[in-house]
Structure 1
Amino acid sequence: MTLTYKNILVAVDGSNEAELAFQRAIQVAINNKGAKLYIVHVIDTRSFAMYESYDRSIAKRVVELAEDMLSKFENNALQAGVSEIHKIIEYGSPKQMIVKELPQKHNIDLIICGISGMGGVERFLLGSVSEGIVRYAPCDVLVIRNM
């Protein structure tokens, strides 16, 4: 039995771990000829909502940074030989979007993400996105560690 992935989602947030996850996603997409690569960045609106009420330009700047980041990832994937790439910027809870909404909407069969290496207290207070993905994803998950 050969397992192939047709719709691969890689979650990126600008971290080194996300960069490693993206590099692995390129490899997986190339190895699964014809696979679509979905590069997603979820803007966690909870993290800047309070500041936005004082300065509306923050939201605009966050979107511009996300668009620039996704364009760079897209160019890297194209240069590496991935032919079908979709850039996605979403708003809300990263766990909710990556685990529930996007896999259903795009028929995702593999999610690739990095792990930040947060300690137990940080995970308890903030919640780990990668842990939530592994626990609740409706498809296969590949978590990339920065060793």
Structure 2
Amino acid sequence: MAQRYMRIFAALDGSSTQKAVAERAIALAASNRAELVFGHVIDSVPYEASGVDFEALCAEGAKRIEEDLAELLGQARGNANIPSVELVVRAGRITDTLATQLVEPMDPDLVVCGERGLSNIKYAFVGSVSTYLIRNMRCDVLVVKED
């Protein structure tokens, strides 16, 4: 019997694969009648010494995602097969915040994320969020590849 996903988390990162991640997550949520949460983390490291208002930064980030993905989010929210659709934006160190504030509290059955395609040198220094998720999440992780 095929795995049925009840809760799906889609990690949005603003990259070129973000739309494809959203599309795949919506399709999976609809076919599984699953709850869907879109999450995004704004990297706080560049702002930590400046005293920036992280709450305002997150609100602006959520607004930008709502605008960028308006059509897709509208389709998801209007789909009777998807019981709930939520967008959550937090600020922090990306992998820690993604895991502890977004993914783990939701306890999803599936995490959908994108492949950013970092160069080998950049990957060696900054790592990969998708690799982190694959190695650390206790659920299935689907990595959507760039075209």
TM exceeding 0.5: yes
Q: Quick check: 1:102–1:108 contact (8 Å CA) kept in 2?
A: no
- Which TM-score applies when normalising by structure 1? 0.83
Match of 1:27 in 2: 27
- 1:125-144 equivalent positions in 2, closer than 5 A: 125-144=125-144
- 1:116-127 equivalent positions in 2, closer than 5 A: 116-127=116-127
Q: Quick check: 1:111–1:142 contact (8 Å CA) kept in 2?
A: yes
Per-residue deviation, 1:69: 3.2
User: Which letter maps to 2:96?
Assistant: Q
Query: What is the RMSD of the two structures over their aligned residues, measured on CA atoms?
Result: 2.1
User: Is the aligned partner of 1:41 residue 2:76?
Assistant: no
User: 3-state SS of the aligned residue for 1:16?
Assistant: coil
- 1:37-116 equivalent positions in 2, closer than 5 A: 37-50=36-49, 52-53=50-51, 56=52, 59=54, 62-71=57-66, 72=70, 74-79=73-78, 82-116=82-116
Per-residue deviation, 1:79: 4.3
Q: Quote the Cα distance in structure 1 between the aligned partners of 2:93 and 2:87.
A: 18
Q: Quote the Cα distance in structure 1 between the aligned partners of 2:92 and 2:32.
A: 30
Per-residue deviation, 1:70: 3.8
Q: Quick check: 1:111–1:141 contact (8 Å CA) kept in 2?
A: yes
Q: Give the structure with the larger helix fraction.
A: 1
Unaligned runs of 5+ in 2: none
Q: Quote the Cα distance in structure 1 between the aligned partners of 2:93 and 2:6.
A: 25
Unaligned runs of 5+ in 1: none
Q: Quote the Cα distance in structure 2 between the aligned partners of 1:102 and 1:90.
A: 8
Cα shift readout 1:67-90 (whole Å, capped 9, x = no counterpart): 113433532422455341121112
How many residues end up aligned between the 2 structures?
A: 142
Q: For the structure 1 residues 18 and 137, does the alpha-carbon distance in structure 2 shift closer, same or farther, using more than 3 Å as the test?
A: same
User: Which letter maps to 2:12?
Assistant: V
Q: Quick check: 2:7–2:110 contact (8 Å CA) kept in 1?
A: yes
Q: Quote the Cα distance in structure 1 between the aligned partners of 2:46 and 2:5.
A: 33
